[in-house]
Amino acid sequence: MSTTTNPVTLKELKAADPRWCTGCGDYTILVGLRRFMVQRQIDPVNTVNVSGIGCSGRLPHYMNTYGIHSVHGRAIPVALGLALGRPELKLFISSGDGDALSIGGNHLIHGIHKNFNCVFVLFDNQIYGLTKNQTSPTTKKGLVTMTQPQGSPLSPINPVQFALGLGATFVASTAEWMGQHFLDTLDVAYQHPGFSFVHVAQRCPKFNPSAWNHEDSRWISFLEHDNGVPADRKAAPDATVVAHDPSDMAKAFEHANGLTTSFGLFYCQERPRYDTLTLDATEKAVKKDKGSLLDSFAI
Residues that bind ligand SF4 (CB under 6 A): 20-21, 24, 26, 55, 125, 129-130, 204-207
125 binds Mg ion (CB under 5 A): yes
Q: How many CB atoms lie within 10 A of CB 99?
A: 31
97 binds, among ligand SF4, Mg ion, none (CB under 5 to 8 A by kind): Mg ion
d(CA 124, CA 287): 45
Which residues have C-beta within 8 Å of that of residue 222, sequence separation ≥ 6? 181, 229, 231, 232, 236, 239, 240, 241, 242, 262, 263, 264
In the sheet that 170-175 helps form, which strands lie side by side, from edge to edge?
A: 66-69, 47-51, 90-96, 118-124, 195-201, 170-175, 261-268, 220-224, 240-243
**CA pair distance 30, 182, nearest whole angstrom:** 11
Residue 184 binding result from Mg ion, ligand SF4, none, given CB thresholds of 5 to 8 Å by partner type: none
Q: Which of 77/129 has CB closer to ligand SF4?
A: 129
The backbone torsions φ and ψ at residue 128, rounded to the nearest 5 degrees and listed phi first, read -85, 115
Angstrom distance (rounded) from CA 231 to CA 244: 12
Task: Give the Cα separation of 125 and 66 in Å (integer).
Answer: 26
Determine if the peptide bond prior to 7 is cis (ω within 30°). yes
84 contact, one of ligand SF4, Mg ion, none, CB 5-8 Å limit per kind: none
Q: Residue 64: which of Mg ion, ligand SF4, none does it interact with, CB under 5 to 8 A by kind?
A: none
Give me the least distance between CB of 20 and Mg ion, in Å please: 12
CA end-to-end span of the chain? 53
When the beta carbons of 115 and 152 are compared against Mg ion, the nearer one is 152
- The smaller minimum CB distance to Mg ion, of residues 96 and 111, is found at 96
- Binding residue count for Mg ion, defined by CB under 5 A: 3
CA distances from residue 102 to 48, 96, 176, 219 in whole angstroms, order as listed: 24, 10, 22, 27
Distance of alpha carbon 216 from its chain centroid, rounded?
A: 25
User: Which of the ranges 7-15, 39-47, 121-129, 259-267 carries the binding residues for Mg ion, by CB under 5 A?
Assistant: 121-129
How near is the Cβ of 154 to Mg ion at its closest, in Å? 16
* Cα separation, 6 vs 33, whole angstroms: 18
- Given the complex with ligand SF4, which of 62 and 274 has the nearer CB atom? 62
Closer residue to ligand SF4, CB minimum distance, 129 or 264: 129
Residue (55 or 171) nearer to Mg ion, CB:
55
Phi, psi (degrees; rounded to nearest 5) at 271: -145, 160
Site string for Mg ion, 84-103 (x = CB under 5 A): ------------xx------
207 binds, among ligand SF4, Mg ion, none (CB under 5 to 8 A by kind): ligand SF4
Report, in Å, the least distance between residue 284 CB and ligand SF4.
46
**Which of Mg ion, ligand SF4, none sits in contact with 190, Cβ below 5 to 8 A by type?**
none
Residue 99 or 275: the one with the smaller Cβ distance to ligand SF4 is 99
* In the complex, minimum distance from the CB of residue 136 to ligand SF4, in angstroms, rounded to a whole number: 11
176's contact among ligand SF4, Mg ion, none, with CB below 5 to 8 A by partner kind, is: none
- How remote is the C-alpha of 278 from its chain's centroid? 23
Point out which residues bind Mg ion (CB under 5 A).
96-97, 125
